[in-house]
Amino acid sequence: MRFAIVGNTDKPALRQAVPKLLEKLDSTGTEYVIDRKILNLLPDAPRSGKDHGCDFDQCIEKSDVLIAFGGDGTILAAARSVGGRGTPILGINLGKLGFLAEVAPEGMQEAIGDILNNKFYIEDRLVLEASSPSIPGRLLHAVNDIVVDKSRSSRVIDIEMHIDGAYAVTYRGDGLIVSTPTGSTAYALSNGGPIVTPASLVIGITPISPHTLSGRPIIVPDTSSIRIIVQADSDEVLISADGQMESFVRPPIEVRVKKAPYPVRLVKRMDTTYFDVLRAKLLWGRNPKGS
């Protein structure tokens, strides 16, 4: 098994965490490659006598498991880079929340030991794919969500939505979030969407600040094709994927969202459940009167 090490070089904790990982890998004789941008930050890192450095794209190509240091944004970016290759990703959390990068630096060596001893499992997560005639030839992929919103305008917009060819509803508000179960605890949650367990075969649709009490979220099967239309009387609209890939377009626009032909694959430890993460990260179920 060969690991590839990538990460967010803007995280100060990276300089302390990566050498500890390399020490573990070298001591067990495990093969690995490491992004040269990280390697250049670590002049005193342990070495096994060979050059492990490579460019980011080469790291993706050469790995059996990708280890990504950073926050959830780092994992989202790594997942898009992996694309349909199916390379499993282990996230080491150097950020704040860490829903996807669930292993803390202090538990990193133990987690690597578990992987080497085959004490782990792979969890497939739904990926969304969006296309639009307004961005010809470009596909947007998202692990969390595809968002269509009013961009920099102060005006509300009307968003017409069709599901599997049938007209569903027109939302008036600030925009619309189409989310995966993974993304249900991201932007959608802050707009009143439900928490959806990762294994659920569904897509969530949540309006952003709807200007009506009847504008409610909806859950549809992950086999659904979702068509979003913003009419010409609106100002500039922003289409974004995971808040990282963006396109500003002028209405009228049409965006089609569906399940991508591949999942993102996350490495999970056997001693941690999704509900453990919810309780730890969101204080889910915590009694506000308790300690």
Q: So which residues are the catalytic ones?
A: 72
Query: Distance between CA 99 and CA 72 in Å, rounded?
Result: 7
Q: What are residue 277's phi and psi, to 5 degrees?
A: -65, -45
Cβ-contact 172, 215 below 8 angstroms: yes
* Phi and psi torsions of 94, nearest 5°: -110, 5
For residues 191 and 179, give the distance between their C-alpha atoms in angstroms, rounded to a whole number: 12
The type of residue at 67 is I
Instruction: Retrieve residue 242's tokens.
Output: 């995971």
Which H helix or E strand runs over 128?
strand 128-131
Residue 239: how many CB atoms within 10 A of its CB? 26
